[in-house]
Structure 1
């Protein structure tokens, strides 16, 4: 939970996370499977307390508050972020005493409490939560802890215009490629916005500053994985053809082999750049299937009804093989993006940024004039 800012270091030790965490939380299972284990404060108080003090994210709601259907595993619908991530984003936001702050995604209310302490009595914090149950729970926790930000139940993508303009805006729900226009409109000229930008490959923390003309530019820093704004979550789940249809598709040789797969899919290497260049392409990797060092990569665009399955054998010297269906040849697009990554000195996330000007948003490399892809406008 460390921060290089001494004020944040102090506040993170004074505003206790446990004040805002629900009676039941869900944590990852120890065996590494994609499954959640419920931990109750009343029945497992020591395990509950240990989880809260660790630098880990905690799932605080599953299935939008409903019970999972019989035989199905719960899936996360709200969480409390890792304290180290909270500290990193708050430090990047650079809130000053007396400023007005808008938070998108109240969650437990812990972040809103921290912001309230930093802005002080002379400042103002508004936090927006789409889920009425979570909003009410956060109001109660904040009141009991002695903090009084304005908690609004509503669609975070719309911000809260009644309180605008804001000196700072922070999003704790990720947005898919395009920054909601309302956020920029409600940010004061000279203000800063911090939030998790993502696509279907990899997400990163965007730190965006707005100029006096109403335009904005910023760079990406550090990988982040946050739950998306709720009206965008359907985009996580792609369309897939029947297995029999995949098997009937021609099996062809790719131009990649050996370490190419790691270069393409490793988040520290080409994954951010390649994902940015291949829009509307959901990525899923089944590692070690059907054997160790044999991976299956699925790409799909549900809107275009296009799909690719690439067989990634790490140890073989031969080229990988792929099956492609639909009008988009998704693997061909990935290979073209991989070539671009090589040709541009293999950039990592930190060399990319987002520019917003005259209603248009585009990704850039190294400088706003080096346009990588226009994402809107």
Structure 2
């Protein structure tokens, strides 16, 4: 099914204007920083004190944070800028919102489930694109956010069904349909472990669009099949706040101690040195595989060292190629193994890499949706997979 025509989406953006869903005060983070809102450079907007700046932020490709720490921390300029504060609601980047809706492809008459109501903007856009707000149900875990979203939507003349609850464990049925299924499921929070209940509530042939959210997220469009599985491919890189049940502290600082396991130290050879650069700037296909099979991708710390961590195990490559690994896993060795396997398979890009969800498991794959990447990339096919076993 082709996506909505650009003029239809453009009309939706006019008819359901973003400014209706933005509070008078917020923390604006320009898109493209590549880091979550709290860690990125941002600035305070106040509609009453500086209306021009507020309007420029609202109608630019800017994330606008509207809540911190589930409402436990007051939204102020100082708190929003503090690394210890975690954004828990934001008006997403307009470009990403538009990209997600293109992948979702809602049509007039479709029944749509919107997971993560937030400010209510995407629920309103879905309501407009389906032609009837009664066709849209949106789920929000935070009662305060649900009430605010209802008011925002009402100002646009829209009243989709708003359900307060945890969409990761239980979902409402689609009203007015005997099977209670949805044609489209639109998710606005980052997810690593996709709840199968989302597949169960989607009609065969229907689509689920979500931000797949290991360390570097990507939009993922799944199509649900008659056998109860769902398969799909990755799209644009994105950064969304995680599903609340999956929220964890941000990456530890590079000096943090996570384990008492004795360190394993060695020097990287010249071949590994070249891998360090490739791993630091992975191609999109390699990036997805590292996130899925290793759980992280290398990143540069403040000291210039290269780090890789899963929160317990840790690998640090210092200037000069000295590698130190601690914890139960040798993360750097795992990342190099994935890199070598990716090269052997012809450096597959996103056109060859996808994701499968079944009632029993979910996994990233290369070329064949029935074969987990952990098996397809294993250097010794008959051996037990050394990395990413939980995905296979």
Aligned positions of 1:1-377 closer than 5 A: 4-28=5-29, 34-65=40-71, 66-67=73-74, 72-73=82-83, 74-121=85-132, 124-163=135-174, 164-176=180-192, 178-200=193-215, 202-234=216-248, 236-237=250-251, 242=256, 249=263, 251-255=265-269, 256-257=271-272, 259-269=274-284, 270-279=286-295, 281=296, 284-286=299-301, 289-290=302-303, 295-302=304-311, 305-311=312-318, 313=319, 320-373=321-374, 375=390
Whose strand proportion is higher, 1 or 2? Answer: 1
On the 8 A contact 1:156/1:229 being kept in 2, the answer is: no
Q: Deviations over 1:213-240 (max 9, x none)?
A: 2221111112121111011011655598
Instruction: Give aligned pairs, total.
Output: 357
Q: 1:29/1:219 Cα in 2 relative to 1: closer, same or farther (>3 Å)?
A: closer
On the 8 A contact 1:158/1:183 being kept in 2, the answer is: no
- Greater Cα shift, 366-375 or 79-88: 366-375
User: 1-side partners of 2:258 and 2:86: how far apart?
Assistant: 28
User: 1-side partners of 2:219 and 2:153: how far apart?
Assistant: 26
User: 1-side partners of 2:333 and 2:59: how far apart?
Assistant: 46
Cα drift, residue 6 of structure 1: 2.5
- Greater Cα shift, 140-149 or 3-12: 3-12
User: 2-side partners of 1:242 and 1:53: how far apart?
Assistant: 40
Q: 1:196/1:245 Cα in 2 relative to 1: closer, same or farther (>3 Å)?
A: closer
Q: 1:367/1:236 Cα in 2 relative to 1: closer, same or farther (>3 Å)?
A: farther
User: 2-side partners of 1:193 and 1:34: how far apart?
Assistant: 29
Cα drift, residue 29 of structure 1: 8.4
On the 8 A contact 1:222/1:350 being kept in 2, the answer is: no
Structure 1 gap ranges (5+)? none
User: 2-side partners of 1:357 and 1:35: how far apart?
Assistant: 40
User: 2-side partners of 1:187 and 1:88: how far apart?
Assistant: 21
User: 1-side partners of 2:186 and 2:14: how far apart?
Assistant: 21
TM-score (norm 1): 0.85
Q: Deviations over 1:38-74 (max 9, x none)?
A: 2111112111111001112211222322138989454
TM-score (norm 2): 0.82
On the 8 A contact 1:106/1:138 being kept in 2, the answer is: yes
Structure 2 gap ranges (5+)? 34-38, 175-179, 375-388
On the 8 A contact 1:238/1:282 being kept in 2, the answer is: no
On the 8 A contact 2:259/2:327 being kept in 1, the answer is: no
On the 8 A contact 2:104/2:208 being kept in 1, the answer is: yes
* DSSP 3-state at the match of 1:61: strand
Instruction: Please list every run of at least 4 consecutive aligned residues from structure 1 whose deviation after the TM superposition is greater than 6 angstroms.
Output: 68-71
Q: 1:253/1:130 Cα in 2 relative to 1: closer, same or farther (>3 Å)?
A: same
* DSSP 3-state at the match of 2:53: helix
The equivalent residue for 2:382 is none
User: 1-side partners of 2:342 and 2:91: how far apart?
Assistant: 35
* DSSP 3-state at the match of 1:272: helix
On the 8 A contact 2:275/2:336 being kept in 1, the answer is: no
Cα drift, residue 259 of structure 1: 4.5
